[in-house]
Amino acid sequence: MTRVNIVTVIIDMAFRGFRYAADWDNGNVMRQEHDQAPLVVTQIARAPRFPDRLRLPLAFDPDGLARDLARLSSDEWISHYVRQNYEGDWSVVALRSPAGETHPIRMINADPTARAFVDTPLLRACDYFPQVLAAFECPLRVVRLMRLTPGSRIKEHTDLDLSFEDGMVRIHIPVTTNPDVEFYLNGSRVVLQAGSAWYLRLSDPHRVFNGGSADRVHLVIDAHVNGWMEALFDAALRETS
C-alpha cells in the first residue's frame, strides 16, 4: 500500500509587525497581518519511489565474506554506542570511517555531518571486502560490520535520513546469518540470505531478533545516491515486478 505522509506546519514568527508562514510547495513566503490567526500550511509528501525493501541485482561470495570475517579478532568489536536501542550484544567493526577519527566510538559513528571518509587499516588487511566495496560505483560513507549475537535483539527504532528519497541509502549484505534471525521492517519480516545485497528504507520502523545459535553479521554500507545507484535500483525494481 502506498503511504502518503501529511505534515501540517504552523509558523508564527513576528517580523516587522507581520506574521509569516513558509509555503513548502513553491518556496515563496506568504505575509499575513499581525492581528490575524497564524497560517496553517499543509504539505502532502511525495510517495516513495521505491519500496521499503529491495533486493539489488548484486551477489557476493559467502565463503569470501566469511574468510575476511574470520580475520578479525574478538577484541576488535566495539559495542554499539546507542545502548537504549538493543538488548544483549550488538557490536561493530569500522571498515570505513570519517577521516581523521581515531577513537573507536567515533570511527563506528555514522555521523551525518561528516564529509570525508577513509578506509580503515582493518579493511586494508582484508582480501574480499575491498572487492565488494569496489562493486559500488558511488560515493561511500561509513562501512561497518555489525554483529548481533544469539539471543540479542535490536529494539524497534528508525534511522533518520536513510532513504533513497533523502539521497542516502544503507545497503545490507549478510555475511553470516541463520534461519532464526527475525528482521522486521514496517511490521513485515525480511529474510536476508548470505551474500545477497539489500536496500532497506531504515528511516521506517525496524527491529531485529537473533533467535538462532550463531552470530548474525552484516556488512553495512552507507552510500550517496548517484546516477549509478539510481540505475541499480531501477533494475532491481524491474526484476521484482
Per-residue pLDDT, 6: 42
| pLDDT tens per residue across all 241 residues of the chain | 444 444 433 333 333 333 334 333 444 444 444 444 444 444 455 688 999 999 999 999 999 999 999 999 888 999 999 999 999 999 999 999 999 998 888 888 888 888 899 999 999 999 999 999 999 999 999 999 999 999 999 999 998 878 899 899 999 999 999 999 999 999 999 999 999 999 999 999 999 999 999 999 999 999 999 999 999 999 999 998 7
Q: Are residues 122 and 58 in the same domain?
A: yes
Contacts of residue 157, Cβ cutoff 8 Å, sequence gap at least 6: 85, 205, 206, 207
Q: State whether 152 and 232 are in the same domain.
A: yes
Are 118 and 131 contacting, i.e. CB atoms less than 8 angstroms apart?
A: no
Q: In 51-205, where do the E strands start and end? A: 53-59, 78-79, 86-87, 90-98, 117-119, 140-148, 153-157, 168-176, 181-185, 188-190, 196-200
- The amino acid present at 156, given as its one-letter code, is E
Q: Are residues 12 and 65 in the same domain?
A: no
Q: Taking the model in full, what pTM does it have? A: 0.80
Q: Phi and psi of 43, rounded to 5°?
A: -110, 130
The DSSP H or E segment spanning 35 is: none
Q: Is 1 a domain residue?
A: no
**What is the distance between the alpha carbons of residues 234 and 88, in angstroms, rounded to a whole number?**
38
Quote the domain boundaries for residue 14.
Answer: 6-44
Do 58 and 137 belong together in one domain? yes
Q: CATH no. for residue 90?
A: 2.60.120.330
